[in-house]
Amino acid sequence: MSQQPVVIVTGGGRGIGAATAKLAAARGYAVCLNYLNRRGPAEEMVRGITERKGRAIAVQADISSEADVISLFRHADSQLGPVSALVNNAATLERQTRLDSMDASRILRIFSVNVVGSMVCAREAVKRMSTRYGGSGGAIVNVSSGAAKYGSPGEYIDYAASKGAIETFTVGLASEVAEEGIRVNAVRPGFIYTEMHAKGGEPGRVERVKTLVPMQRGGQPEEVATAIMWLLSPGASYVTGTIVDVSGGR
């Protein structure tokens, strides 16, 4: 019998991450669900998965901390087995404002989580998946944002810039490890109904901007999760270095 695939989903306690963790479990993955502060919802999700005979653990880790990332992967190794998939979903943003009102510490906070954290997580995944290190291959999906295309002027261009960096990183890493059995892709969600907008200071943002979308609606986290799981699957075996828009046509 082949070994059960293991996926780490960062920022898996809510929104797109939570939807991805649930769908991964339903499709036969053992799930390591990472969270920062919201232990209760993360553990509740693990209970839901295990009650359905799945395997899952919840691991607290601050993705901006290299030591925490290393610990996260070691927990997955020891409790679930070799990691074969990574979803770099954890991200942060701050209240909407213009660049001329941002200080350097805010910009550093954004990039420490969204860019540095994702890169360090990918590094740890490569060390486990790459045939160069004796691994059996695997897949990484980075979660970008439509902000990378449009820049989010007047709202959070620091966040947008960090997601632009994620897309460049996706293309570069995909080429770097293509011969080592690892595929690296990204999804670029549009206006999705998640709690992230409240953190930016506008909980109802999707309702305000949904008329900009050809489909005239916001998206659901589950719709993004479906795209992520396709990119992780054998069905996307010849897809790497690609950014998939999940944005209703925008």
**Residue of 29, 35, 156, 159 marked active site:** 159
Residue 9, number of CB atoms within 10 A of its CB:
33
Residue 23 gets the label, from left (phi > 0), alpha (psi -120 to 50) or beta, of alpha
Looking at the DSSP bridge assignments, the partners of residue 142 are 88, 186
Q: What's the 3-state SS for 75-94? A: HHHHHCCCCCEEEECCCCCC
Q: For 25, list phi and psi in degrees, rounded to 5.
A: -60, -40
Amino acid at 120: V
CA gap 168, 174 in Å, rounded: 10
> What residue has token string 């490890």?
177
DSSP category for residue 203: T
Looking at the DSSP bridge assignments, the partners of residue 59 are 34
**Catalytic residue status for 29:** no
Instruction: Give Cα 162 distance to the centre of its chain.
Output: 13
Question: Which residue numbers are catalytic?
Answer: 159
